[in-house]
């Protein structure tokens, strides 16, 4: 058997954290090696375990997942980051700018979350359909959403990930 995908899960809601850990563990090819509920715990655990994938929530009690991304990338350059969050809003663009490889909403089917972890572990991108819709609308409208509010222009890095 190949080496399992090693995951550090950063999620502050205990029930979701336990459920996702169990779901990923049932796959046989994904191992959650550590869980964190705060930014501080996450930084230490990523430095210690050097996972293949960090599954990261945006809302944490001591800050935001997006603000944590540069620190996580500094702790383990080889780790790929997958945002898993309730939000499918403009935070998508900030997450892409910060260097995430995927963005999945918590309402996604468990199989899609598993697929996202596997895909992101390879270095490829994976995005929930609602996220793809938002990005597509952003690109098609020249940076204006359907409600005519302005969304920041895509950076070169965002375009690379999108392709």
pTM for the full model? 0.83
Instruction: Tell whether the model's pLDDT for residue 92 goes beyond 70.
Output: yes
Q: Are 32 and 9 in contact (CB under 8 A)?
A: yes
Region 5-128: CATH code: 3.40.50.2300
Q: What is the pLDDT of residue 139?
A: 77
CB 79 within 8 A of CB 51: yes
Establish how many alpha carbons lie within 13 A of residue 100's alpha carbon, considering only the half-sphere containing its beta carbon. Answer: 27
Residue 144 pLDDT: 63
Report the C-alpha gap between 27 and 30 in whole angstroms: 6
Q: pLDDT digit string (tens) for 22-79?
A: 999 999 999 999 999 999 999 999 999 999 999 999 989 999 999 999 999 999 999 9
């Amino acid at each position: 058997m190949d080496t399992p995908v090693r995951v550090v899960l950063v999620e502050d809601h205990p029930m979701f954290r336990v459920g996702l850990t169990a779901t990923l563990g049932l796959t046989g090819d994904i191992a959650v090696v550590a869980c964190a509920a705060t930014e501080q715990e996450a930084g230490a655990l990523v430095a210690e375990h050097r996972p293949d994938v960090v599954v990261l929530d945006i809302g944490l009690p001591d800050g935001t997942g997006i603000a944590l991304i540069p620190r996580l990338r500094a702790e383990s350059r080889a780790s790929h980051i997958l945002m898993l969050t309730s939000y499918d809003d403009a935070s998508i663009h900030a997450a892409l700018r910060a260097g995430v490889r995927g963005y999945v909403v918590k309402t996604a089917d468990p199989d899609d979350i598993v697929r996202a972890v596997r895909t992101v572990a390879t270095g490829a991108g994976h995005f929930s359909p609602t996220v793809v819709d938002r990005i597509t609308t952003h690109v098609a409208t020249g940076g204006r959403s359907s409600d005519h509010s302005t969304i920041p222009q895509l950076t070169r890095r965002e375009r690379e990930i999108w392709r």
